[in-house]
Structure 1
Amino acid sequence: MSTPIKSADIKLPLLGDTSSGSISQQKEYELGRAWLKAYRSRINEHHDPLLTDYLEQLIYRLAFRSQLQDHRLELIVVDNPTLNAFAVPGGVIGVHTGLFLFAKSEAQLSSVLAHEIAHLSQRHFARRLESRKKNQVANMAGLLASLVLAATIGSDAGMAGLTATQAMGRNESLRYSRQNEREADRLGLKTMLAAGIDPEAMSTMFEAMLKLTRYTGSQVPEFLRSHPLTENRVTDAKNKLSQLPKKEYSDSFEFHLIRARAIIAINNNPSLSIDHFKNELILSKNSQAALYGASLAYISLGKYSEAKDAIDQLLKALPDQLHYKMAEIELYRHQKKYDLAIEKTNQLLRYQPNSYPLRMSLAETYLKSNHFLKSETLLDSLAATHSENPEVWFLLAEIRGLAGNIPGVHMARAQYFILTGVFDQARDQLSYAKKLLIHDYKKILVIDQQLKNLNILEERIKAL
């Protein structure tokens, strides 16, 4: 569990000369990445390679059809059942697992993501600061700190901080915020059209959100507190959609498979998930996705016979579906049929050699089968291609320990702590590694440079 904190505890960078009234894109990028490190140290991140990979591909599909110029995006998936998504200056996009509970199609999910990308493309953060010649730093620091609070100790406390911060502004800033939301709606709609995604999902998503607020009363979801939704916005969306030619759009089957994975994570109880998917098998149109979810829950419960029956049925219907094949590999791994799991994964990697989910799956199989050096080699390659992913470095530290590479453990841990904003621990880990490598001159030089880079990083964050 994360430790509750106060807004003042979050060390956010300064924005430089506030009198200039403008912030460069690079400053936004540096601010966002610094904030992400603080945020990661305070929340529970959800690490599911398949879900992460799906969201990243969808976000980039939308981003490249949007007006966003800087495509240096970073996704963080938060293990939180609430309806929420957010965009932070500098290209950070956050998604709560709970968003999958609320969105019923990829198009509805895309309507939220496209809206967030529009906030980034229009640089609403910088524009809001330019409209405030005073209290710029305090206001933005408070807004970002409130987002951390909301995810750390619950939405009420976080939103109380957000409300207090917004109260510092005048009515003009609130009207400007509404203008930002309308602009994000309009551009999000254009992005969906350009990406070939059903734009009507934005209207249906808005209507569902409004309906939700009527039922929940004062317990408004976090997303709707930070993105106030009005009847006018729903009407605007409908009017824009009425001017578009009608077109048929296909639903994304993969979305429903990923949604099943999110439901399992949210339930955090395989038995509860099985009951859920059994009910969906009766009531839902997406029976295959429900059967897929049930197969994963059966694996978690150790009901391998039931899992095999479900997976065999799925593969009979769609023998080339990657998610089904990976479920079969997961079953083999749980049954300790490691050779079979490795063989099946390597077969898939021949066609998708750069697949992040497949490579992570193979690394896990190597770990379980005590092939520590092979797992370490694979994770080394993943660290090179996914250097900003804390989970890769966390697993690499574990593998290196089992492989007997103790200096490597400390170096991997250092990278993990840097990404999660725990700089003191990172410095300690690099110092431990340096002592163990005292006779390796080349590696000592590398560590010395990393320590210098860490000092520079801290100074840059303070000076932003």
Structure 2
Amino acid sequence: MHKKLHSNKMRLALCLLLFLVSVSHAELPELGDPTKKELSPFEEYLMGKQFYQTLRSNIPFVEDLVVNDYLTTLGQKLVSQTGESNKQFHFFILKIPSINAFAGPDAYIGIHTGLILSAQNESELAGVLAHEISHVTQRHLARAMTESSTSPGVGFAAILAGILVSAQNPAAGAAIIYGSAAGMMQSQINFTRQNEYEADRIAISVLRNANISPDGMTNFFETLLAKSESSNELAQIEYLRTHPLSSTRIAESKHRIQENDHSLPKDSLNFQLTKARIMVVTAPSVTDLIARFKSIDKEQMSISDQYAMAIALMAHDNHQQAVVLLKKLIQRNDHPWFKLALAKAYEHNHQDQLALDTLDTLNQTLPNYLPVVIEYALLLNSQGNYDRSLLLLKRILQYQKHPVIYETLAQTYYSKGQIGAALEATSYQYEQEGHLKLAAQQIDNALKQPDLDTAAYQRLESRKGTLLEQLKREKIN
């Protein structure tokens, strides 16, 4: 049975690769003059958009707002030290148990849950992120695609195939990315050793300037290299197949780390709490996870373990027990994530007023913290307090744009019976997600609504024209 399953996965890998290669020219936008040696920023943007949307359609993402906000905040902290702050980076987490990370076209940086769970502290995760960010700033992927004799579209398809297959079979997926499948040159779809050394060197500087210890990067690489010597663990360490690693490379990175770097911060409570949340969302059995936590002496449980147990209890609908545990945890440490979890536990335990009071206090302290704003707005909506919800959502839109804000805004407008405004909000959601055609369709629907005033009608007409022009440009290119 096991051999048959493995054989089916391998057939899937090969079929998917051949399919993606065959459609790389048919479905992807035409990438300009094939004689050019460099992808233009707009061509890379188109590739990045297709890359991300394909992953979205085929691989489960971690949809946890708290976790995603943490990763994006850490990533942007590192990006701010690269001199590329004006470039938009996209950080996301895939529910794949293997240990890997990748930098796709146009600064789309993905992390596997397996890598986060394998990292011991924040500096190790930050080291991987800084390394991937450096691949982006040095345009290693774009150069690898354009410098090979094969078309960029084929290399792009191979990268996608490798990531998609790795969700089911890490070894097969890594082989597609790293190997020369379908006659493609390794240099086209992989970072050369020279690029890896360059990314390490730049990452160390980025980490230092971000006030994070570069030791984490080299320590994590050393751990992976040591694990690779075990045949039982090698299949899960996909990172080593897609990022060639050697003791020489690690030694050179260590040589670049300065004495003062060792005293820089290595960890944060937010990282450990992030691991706790990911542990719960990826657990094969939440029941077994709770049982394991209950078997641990309460005096021996770390703060992050207690938090993980509370989140697991909520996932198991044991909200009363979660309330008790979180209240004790807050007495020990009043971290805002504990209070946010407590508010959710209160709500699901039908203690709505306590939930509202907790969220209101949190919102006053952290008025632009997305997870709090969304949770508060949704609870206000359930209470019929739509105007207060709209106030919160419109305020946070002044500081950040995120699909979930527009999605919640649309729900609020629908509840108020303002269909035109709801459709307009949904159009912004689709635009943020890269679905320009769907966004334009929502505007068409909004323009037919009788509740629009003249200003809204003119605004929507203008946006529709802008979207159609963008769609036309993407089709031409």
Give the TM-score band, short-chain normalised: 0.7 to 0.9
* 1:135 and 2:150 correspond: yes
Deviates more, 1:222-231 or 1:236-245: 236-245
Alignment match of 2:374 (pick from 360, 365, 382): 360
What's the CA shift for 1:353?
1.7
Matched residue, 1:450: 463
Matched residue, 1:397: 410
The C-alpha deviation readout for 1:98-153, integer Å capped at 9, x for no partner, is: 32211111011111101011101212123324533x43423443245335634666
What's the CA shift for 1:360?
1.5
Identity of aligned pairs, percent?
26
| Residues 149 and 298 of structure 1: CA distance in aligned 2, closer, same or farther (over 3 Å) | closer
1:296 and 1:327 in contact (8 A); partners too:
yes
Deviates more, 1:361-370 or 1:155-164: 155-164
1:257 and 1:289 in contact (8 A); partners too:
yes
| Residues 379 and 242 of structure 1: CA distance in aligned 2, closer, same or farther (over 3 Å) | closer
Counterparts in 2 of 1:289-308, with a 5 A limit?
289-308=304-323
| Residues 463 and 276 of structure 1: CA distance in aligned 2, closer, same or farther (over 3 Å) | farther
Match of 1:253, as an amino acid? L
Matched residue, 2:392: 378
The C-alpha deviation readout for 1:314-373, integer Å capped at 9, x for no partner, is: 122223x21222222122221222222222222222232222122112112213334344
Alignment match of 1:433 (pick from 443, 446, 470): 446
* 1:54 and 2:77 correspond: no
TM-score (norm 2): 0.83
Counterparts in 2 of 1:35-434, with a 5 A limit?
35-66=51-82, 68=84, 70-132=86-148, 134-146=149-161, 149-150=164-165, 155=170, 158-159=173-174, 161-163=176-178, 168=183, 170=185, 177-213=192-228, 214-216=230-232, 219-241=235-257, 246-247=262-263, 249=265, 251-267=267-283, 269-278=285-294, 287-319=302-334, 321-383=335-397, 385-387=399-401, 389-434=402-447
Q: Within 2, Cα distance between the matches of 1:237 and 1:142?
A: 32
Q: Within 1, Cα distance between the matches of 2:143 and 2:102?
A: 17
1:13 partner SS: coil
Match of 1:91, as an amino acid? A
The C-alpha deviation readout for 1:60-118, integer Å capped at 9, x for no partner, is: 22122235464422222333333232222332222233322111110111111010111
1:363 and 1:378 in contact (8 A); partners too:
yes
2:99 and 2:238 in contact (8 A); partners too:
yes
| Residues 452 and 438 of structure 1: CA distance in aligned 2, closer, same or farther (over 3 Å) | farther
* 1:20 and 2:45 correspond: no
What's the CA shift for 1:260?
0.6
Q: Within 2, Cα distance between the matches of 1:268 and 1:372?
A: 38
Q: Within 2, Cα distance between the matches of 1:409 and 1:105?
A: 42
Matched residue, 1:462: 475
RMSD across aligned positions (CA): 3.3
1:181 partner SS: helix
1:67 and 1:118 in contact (8 A); partners too:
no
Matched residue, 2:4: none
| Residues 384 and 96 of structure 1: CA distance in aligned 2, closer, same or farther (over 3 Å) | farther
Q: Within 1, Cα distance between the matches of 2:250 and 2:296?
A: 30
The C-alpha deviation readout for 1:2-43, integer Å capped at 9, x for no partner, is: xx9742557333332232322344554454345334433443
What's the CA shift for 1:456?
2.3
The C-alpha deviation readout for 1:192-221, integer Å capped at 9, x for no partner, is: 222222222222211221233333466244
Match of 1:84, as an amino acid? N
Deviates more, 1:136-145 or 1:361-370: 136-145
2:123 and 2:266 in contact (8 A); partners too:
no
Q: Within 1, Cα distance between the matches of 2:186 and 2:395?
A: 52
Match of 1:257, as an amino acid? L
2:59 and 2:164 in contact (8 A); partners too:
no
| Residues 93 and 447 of structure 1: CA distance in aligned 2, closer, same or farther (over 3 Å) | same
Match of 2:359, as an amino acid? T
1:281 and 1:287 in contact (8 A); partners too:
no
Q: Within 2, Cα distance between the matches of 1:64 and 1:440?
A: 42
| Residues 335 and 446 of structure 1: CA distance in aligned 2, closer, same or farther (over 3 Å) | same
What's the CA shift for 1:180?
0.8
The C-alpha deviation readout for 1:436-458, integer Å capped at 9, x for no partner, is: 24874443333333333332222
Q: Within 1, Cα distance between the matches of 2:296 and 2:206?
A: 32
Matched residue, 2:9: none
Deviates more, 1:201-210 or 1:40-49: 40-49
1:400 and 1:406 in contact (8 A); partners too:
yes
Match of 1:344, as an amino acid? T
Match of 2:247, as an amino acid? E
What's the CA shift for 1:165?
6.1
TM-score (norm 1): 0.85
Q: Within 2, Cα distance between the matches of 1:171 and 1:44?
A: 28
Q: Within 2, Cα distance between the matches of 1:381 and 1:226?
A: 42
Q: Within 2, Cα distance between the matches of 1:171 and 1:402?
A: 54
Q: Within 1, Cα distance between the matches of 2:357 and 2:43?
A: 47
| Residues 399 and 159 of structure 1: CA distance in aligned 2, closer, same or farther (over 3 Å) | farther
1:69 and 1:121 in contact (8 A); partners too:
no
1:411 and 1:430 in contact (8 A); partners too:
yes
